[in-house]
Amino acid sequence: MRRLSLPYRQPPADTVRADDWMLVVDEEQVPLPSHLPDWDYRMNLHLRRTVEIDADALRAAAALPPNAPVALTVVWTASGSGLRASACRVPVKATERDFIDLEVRIAGADLGGLLALETVIVLDDRMVDGSPVAARRAGSVLWRERRELRLQGDAPQFPLAVVDFERTSFPNDAGWHLQISSNLSAATMGAMLLLINERNSVALSAFQNAAKPRAVDKAVLSSIYMDVARTMIEHALRSEEFSDTAEYDDDTLGATLLALVDQLFPGSSINDLRLRMESAPTHFASEIQAAVRVFGDD
């Protein structure tokens, strides 16, 4: 395993003690899990943690003067959206010990895929004079900790919107509708949109409660995810250009559909799946239902 060697002294790990990240839901705090299977793009994330820093020991071990400007910052990166941003930045006091309460809020619309949270202690300003073994440039990393959160479970995820179906061409009593482009080379984020009917209180409540779903919400979300997966698979198989030899750029609709097919039907060829759908469409729909594990315990 290769280890990055920095050209300046870093403090030992025991100069910093970071509590676990906590997920705040309805003002209740729960330990941040490794994944949120019921997450959707309307769910904003609210996170908290406390970091204890032995400020004197940290600066001394890094060969920095007692008043060296040091800051604690949190940077997040979302693979689904490709976005990266600083969530907060707090100066580390020039005291023996500093307890810093971190509070991070990230809009769900900016997220997707794998969320990486990096808690970092950096030199907050350029050091003109100082030890030759000490960090000098602003932004030099003195301590780093990374935590990952998977925001996409087994079901496909993409942007959604709540609309009044009475103002659309969709049936007034329908709960949802998936809009999907025929252009498989288009970016997934712009090629699919899940519409939720605001008049359907059951479907709407399920998404509103996605962070802390009730039993009924879990059942509704499972039904929606299964129906969305079926729509996506059948949409892909009806496209003549969709095949095992097709190549699509990352983050395109074609790549997303290929990944979904591989996930739900590993080892099956596109041609075989297409024949199964065409010869026995209702049976194939049940195969998708089983592959998605609708109402499953996981």
CA distance 112 to 80: 4
pLDDT on residue 238 = 95
What's the whole-number average pLDDT of the chain? 87
In the chain, which residues fall in CATH 2.60.40.10?
13-150
Q: Kindly report, residue by residue over 250-288, the tens digit of the pLDDT.
A: 778 998 899 899 989 999 999 999 999 999 999 999 999
Residues β-bridged to residue 188:
none
Element at 298 (helix H, strand E): none
pLDDT on residue 51 = 95
- Which one of 151-165, 200-214, 231-245 scores highest in mean pLDDT? 231-245
Average pLDDT over residues 286-296: 90
What backbone torsions phi and psi does residue 91 show, to the nearest 5 degrees?
A: -65, 140
* Cβ–Cβ < 8 Å for 184, 257: yes
Q: Kindly report, residue by residue over 117-159, the tens digit of the pLDDT.
A: 999 999 988 888 778 888 888 889 999 999 998 875 444 456 7
Handedness of CA 198, 201, 204, 209 (dihedral sign): positive
**Among 146, 87, 155, CA closest to 118:** 146
CA distance 290 to 229: 11
pLDDT on residue 230 = 95
- 169 or 108: which carries more pLDDT confidence? 169
**Among 200, 206, 201, CA closest to 171:** 200
Chain centre to alpha carbon of residue 111 = 5
* Cβ–Cβ < 8 Å for 76, 135: no
Indicate the pTM of the whole model. 0.56
CA angle 261, 267, 272 (to 5 degrees): 75
pLDDT at 180 > cutoff 60: yes
Q: Kindly report, residue by residue over 78-128, the tens digit of the pLDDT.
A: 876 667 899 999 999 888 888 999 999 998 877 877 899 999 999 988 888
pLDDT on residue 156 = 46
**Among 8, 13, 98, CA closest to 62:** 8
What confidence category does residue 297 fall into, taking pLDDT thresholds of 50, 70 and 90? Answer: low
Handedness of CA 141, 18, 100, 110 (dihedral sign): positive
Q: Kindly report, residue by residue over 2-40, the tens digit of the pLDDT.
A: 455 678 888 998 999 999 999 998 878 889 988 886 676
Instruction: Residues 13-150: name the CATH superfamily.
Output: Immunoglobulins (2.60.40.10)
SS3 83: strand
CA distance 33 to 37: 10
